[in-house]
Structure 1
Amino acid sequence: MISMTLADIAATVSGELVPAAGDGPDTVVAGTVDTDSRAMTGGDIFVAKPGAVTDGHNFVDTAAAAGARLAIVEHTVEAPVSQIVVTDAVAALADLAREVVARVRARGELKIVGITGSNGKTTTKNMLARILEGEGATVAPRNSFNNEVGAPVTMLRVDEDTRYLVSEFGADRIGSIARLAGLVTPDLGIVLMVGLAHAGGFGGVEATQRAKTELVEAVRPGGVAVLNADDPRVAAMAAVAADRGVAVRWFGRSTAAEIRADDVEVTAAGTTCTVVVGDERLPLRLQVLGEHHVMNALAAITAARELGVAPAVAIARLETLEIAERWRMQPLGSERVRIINDAYNASPDSMAAALRTLAQIAEPGQRKVAVLGAMSELGESAGEEHDRVGLLAVRLRYERIVVVGAEARRLFLAAVGEGSWDGEAVFFASADEAFDYLRGELRDGDRVLVKSSNSAGLRHLGDRLGESFS
C-alpha cells in the first residue's frame, strides 16, 4: 500500500483512531493490508473481519505479535497495536481500497482492468498479468481473490510504482460487481461469458447476464469493453457500452471477432491454434491444457493490445505460462498415470469442457477415468445439469466414471441410465472411499480427470492421487 498517516487512514474509513504507545495521528504506515493474521509482517495492516466461523478480532493480538502496525476493528481489543474503530470492517476495507487506487491513479500512470464471466476469470487474469508484467509493475489477485474482501485486498497492493491493476470480479448477487468495480472504475472491462455458474444464487441465467453487465456499466467513459463475440448474452452488452461512451473490442472463434482463433488443436502437451488479427496469422502454443482456454487467451491478447502490447509480444509471453492456476487443469502424477486436477470450481460449461479435453488428449489404449463431484449454486437447474454431465461422460466413452458425494449422486444415476453399468460407473459417499478404490483400480496408461466445485473438496483428492502416482 502507499504511505498514509494513521489520521489519514482513519478519515478515509470514517473511523476513530486509538493509537498504541509511541504512535500518533502523524505516524506513517505503508504495509500490506490483509484479513489474515498469518500473513502479517512488520508494518502491515490487519483488518479484523467478523465471520460466520471465526472472528478476526480474536486474532488482533496474533497479528500484532507478527508485526502488524495497525488493526482496523469494529471494537477495541486488548493488544499492543494502534487501532481504528469502524462500524463495518469490510466496508472500511473497500473505502481504503478506493482511496489508495484513486491517489495512485491521479499520478497518471496506472491502468486498471476488470475481468468477469461465469467461467475463466482466474485463468484470464493470470494470462493478462503474465503479458503485462513484461511492460511494468503489475498487481493481480492471488488465487481467486474476487469477492468483497479479496478484491479490495488486491487493490490495496497497489503502490506508487504500479502500472497495471488487474482485478477479478465475482458475484454472489445482483449489485456485487457494480460495488466492487465501482471502487476503481476500470479503464478496460473484459466479459468472458454468461453461463449457469452461480445461477442458483442469481435466480437464473438472465439475472446472471444482468450481473455481469455491471462491469461494462462501471468502465469509465472513454474506456474499452472487451467482449466475447460468440456469446449472444455478452454481445448484447455492446449496447450498454455504446450508451456510456465505451468502445467495444471483440474476441472469439467466429469471424465477427477482431481477434480470433483458427486451427485449434488439443494435445497432452498443451493447446495450439492460429491467432488471427486482421491480415496477421500468429501461431500460439499454450502449455495450458484445454480448448476452452483459447478463449481466455484471446481475451487477454485483445485487452493487452488495447493497452499497447502487440499481439505477437503477448503471445510470446503467454507461451511461458505453464498452468492456469493450481487446481485448474493441473497435470499431476506421471506419464504412467496422469492426473488432471481441475477441482477448484465447476459449472456445466466448465465440466463439459474438461471432460472433452481429457477425451481429446487420451491416446488409443489409454483409459479415460472421470472422478466427478457436485456442481454448486445451480438452483433449480442442479438436477438437470448433473444429468447432462453424466450423459456426456458416457457419450465420450469414459471407461470409468467415479462419482463422489451425495450431492452428485444424480450424476451417477444418469450415467448408469445411459448405459454405464457393470462397474463402469461407481459411486462413493466420501473422497476417502474414492481414493481407496482408485488407488487399486488405476493402471498404467490411465488418464484421469478430477472435477468438481470447490465445496465438494475433490481438489484434495486430486492432490492425493497425483502424489500416489507420481
Structure 2
Amino acid sequence: MSALWTSAELRAATGGTIGPEVEVLGISIDTRSLAQGDLFVALRDTRDGHAFVADALARSAAAAMVEREPPDMPEDAPLLHVGDTLAGLAALGAAARARTDAHVVAVTGSVGKTTTKEMLRVALAAFGPTHASAASFNNHWGVPVTLARMPRDAAFAVVEMGMNNRGEIAPLSSLARPHVGLVTNIGTAHIGHLGSEEAIAEEKGDIIAGIAPGGVLVLPADSRFAARLAARAREAGLEVLSHGEAAGADARLLSYQGEAEGGRAEIMLAGERLGVTLAAPGRHVALNACAVLAVVHALGLAPRSAAAALPAFGAPAGRGRRSRIRVEGGEALLIDDSYNASPPSIRAGLAVLAAQAATRRIAALGDMRELGSEAPAIHAALAPDAATACDLVFTCGEMMEHLHRALPEARRGAHCPDSAALAPVLRGALRPGDAVLVKGSLGSRMAVVVQALCGESGS
C-alpha cells in the first residue's frame, strides 16, 4: 500500500516538526478503530487524546500528532508536534484537498445526509475510485478527517456536512471546496438552536460559500426556500439544479412502487426517463435517488449508468437496516433506524414499517432532540401517523411521553424513562412474526434497544 502521507508532506501541510521519517497509511482520532500505519491525532474534546498516544503507538500507529509532549514517551517516538491538533488536522485536510484531482461533492440537509452520501458512494464508484465520509463524520473534525484520508488516486470524493448551530456549514464548505454542493432537504432538525426554519435554510445555503467557481448547487425543489437559495447561488456565479417531486424539478420523481424490502422508482432527468431499482424501502429513499442522479448529471456523468449501479445500495446500520432477530418461539423482523430522528424521518420510517408483511407492526421511539419550545407538540403530533402504521408503539424519554399520551389507548405499548429501561420491556413483548422499527435521536441512545434485541451487550 502506498503512503497516504510522508513525513515531508506532514511537515509541509501542518508546519509541524517530526523526528523520525514515517509513512502514514491512514488517519485516526480513536484508538478503538485505529489501524496499523495510521496517524493518530490527539484531539482535545470531552477527553484529551494525548492520554491515548502511548496506546496508539503500541497498536502500531505510524505516528501521533500532538500539541504537547505526552507522558513517558521515548526520545525517538514518532510524534508530529503542532501548535494545535485540531488546527493541524484542518491543515492536513486542506492540503489533501489542494493536492487531489478528485471531483468533490458536499452533502448537507436536515435529514437523509448519510443515506444520500452512501448512495453517492455507490453511484460514483461506477465511474472511478470514490472516497466518502465514514459513518457521520460531518462536523468540525469529521470533515478534515474525511479530506485528510482521501486516497491519492481518488476520482471522486463525497463529503458530508452537518451543523447544530449557525455559522458551521460555511467553514466546512470552504475547507472542502466542492465542485457540487447538494442540499437534501430543509426541515426542523436543530430548530431549537437556530430558532426558525428560515435560519436553518440560510445555514444550509451557506454551503454556497465553498463551492468552486463555476460549480453547481443542487437544491430540493419541494422546499419553500428553494427559490431563495437558488437566487443566492446564481448571484455567486453557480449553476442550479433541483431534485424532488415538484413540477419543474430537474431530477423529478415521477412514480414510486414500494415493497417491503425495496422499491422501484421512475425519475425524469434531462428529458430522459430512468428506471431505478432500490434495495432499501421507502419513498424517501427514492427521493434520495433523485438527488443522487442530479449530482451525477451535474458532474457531467451518465445518470443511466449511475441508476444501474444503485441496486447495490443497502441501508447502513442504524439507517434502516433490516435483520431477523430471535424472539421466544421464533423470529421477528428488526428495522434498525436508531442512529437519528426528526419528524420527517420518523414519518418515513413509520411508512416503511406499515409496508411490512407482519403479524404485528411495532415501533419503539426515543426522543427527537434540539426541537426547542415546540418539542412537546411536535412529538404529540406524530400520533396519527404512528396509530395508522402501528399495532403498538413503545416510547422512551421525556418528550416521547407526549406521543404516548396522544396515542389511542389500544396503540400504547409502554413508556419508559430511557432506552435502557425500554430495551427489556420491548424484548419481552415481541412475538414471532412481528416487525419492529427502532428510531430516535442519537442522544436517545436507541442503539441500546437494538443491541438488546440482537442479543448483544453494550452501552
Q: Distance in 2 between matches of 1:33 and 1:139?
A: 14
Q: Among 404, 410, 413, which residue is 1:412 paired with?
A: 404
Q: Distance in 2 between matches of 1:211 and 1:148?
A: 15
Does residue 338 (structure 1) correspond to residue 326 (structure 2)? The answer is no
State the Cα deviation string for residues 167-192 of structure 1 (Å, max 9, x = none).
00001222211111111211000011
State the Cα deviation string for residues 263-306 of structure 1 (Å, max 9, x = none).
21221021222112244322222111211111111111111122
For the 8 Å contact 2:314–2:321, the answer to whether it is kept is no
What residue identity is the alignment partner of 2:86?
V
SS in 2 for 1:409: helix
Structure 2 counterpart of 1:30: 24
| 1:16-415 alignment runs, 5 A limit | 17=17, 19=19, 23=20, 27-52=21-46, 54-77=47-70, 78-80=72-74, 81-104=77-100, 109-323=101-315, 325-333=316-324, 336-359=331-354, 361-363=355-357, 366-394=359-387, 396=388, 398-415=390-407
How much does 1:228 deviate? Answer: 1.1
Q: Distance in 2 between matches of 1:4 and 1:465?
A: 42
For the 8 Å contact 1:332–1:463, the answer to whether it is kept is no
Count of residue pairs brought into register by the alignment: 448
What residue identity is the alignment partner of 1:10?
R
For the 8 Å contact 1:368–1:398, the answer to whether it is kept is yes
Distance 1:99 1:443, change over 3 A: same
Distance 1:423 1:178, change over 3 A: closer
What residue identity is the alignment partner of 1:390?
A
Structure 1 counterpart of 2:443: 455
Distance 1:337 1:36, change over 3 A: same
Runs of 4+ with deviation above 4 angstroms: 1-5
SS in 2 for 1:58: helix
What residue identity is the alignment partner of 1:314?
A
Distance 1:296 1:461, change over 3 A: same
How big is the alpha-carbon RMSD for the aligned residues of Structure 1 and Structure 2?
2.2
How much does 1:309 deviate? Answer: 2.9
State the Cα deviation string for residues 405-446 of structure 1 (Å, max 9, x = none).
33422221222xxxx115734212243443333333323332
Distance 1:18 1:414, change over 3 A: same
What residue identity is the alignment partner of 2:54?
D
Q: Distance in 2 between matches of 1:37 and 1:159?
A: 21
SS in 2 for 1:406: coil
Q: Distance in 2 between matches of 1:278 and 1:43?
A: 45
Q: Distance in 1 between matches of 2:41 and 2:312?
A: 36
How much does 1:64 deviate? Answer: 1.3
Distance 1:280 1:34, change over 3 A: same
What residue identity is the alignment partner of 2:13?
T
Q: Distance in 1 between matches of 2:391 and 2:151?
A: 52
For the 8 Å contact 2:323–2:335, the answer to whether it is kept is yes
How much does 1:32 deviate? Answer: 0.9
In structure 2, list runs of 5 or more residues that go unmatched.
none
Structure 1 counterpart of 2:422: 434
How much does 1:48 deviate? Answer: 0.5
For the 8 Å contact 2:219–2:243, the answer to whether it is kept is yes
For the 8 Å contact 2:39–2:64, the answer to whether it is kept is yes
Distance 1:43 1:214, change over 3 A: same
Q: Distance in 2 between matches of 1:136 and 1:145?
A: 22
Stretch moving more, 139-148 or 153-162: 153-162
Stretch moving more, 177-186 or 113-122: 177-186
How much does 1:377 deviate? Answer: 1.3
Q: Distance in 1 between matches of 2:34 and 2:314?
A: 29
Distance 1:411 1:133, change over 3 A: same
What residue identity is the alignment partner of 1:6?
S
How much does 1:138 deviate? Answer: 1.0
What residue identity is the alignment partner of 1:326?
A
SS in 1 for 2:175: coil
Distance 1:387 1:423, change over 3 A: closer
Q: Distance in 2 between matches of 1:442 and 1:146?
A: 35
Structure 2 counterpart of 1:446: 434
Q: Distance in 1 between matches of 2:411 and 2:176?
A: 54
Distance 1:246 1:383, change over 3 A: same
How much does 1:313 deviate? Answer: 1.1
What residue identity is the alignment partner of 1:13?
T
Q: Distance in 2 between matches of 1:421 and 1:467?
A: 30
SS in 2 for 1:232: coil
SS in 1 for 2:382: helix
Query: Identity percentage over the alignment?
Result: 34
State the Cα deviation string for residues 291-340 of structure 1 (Å, max 9, x = none).
111111111111112223322211111111122x1111111226952221
State the Cα deviation string for residues 183-216 of structure 1 (Å, max 9, x = none).
1211000011111111212222222111101112
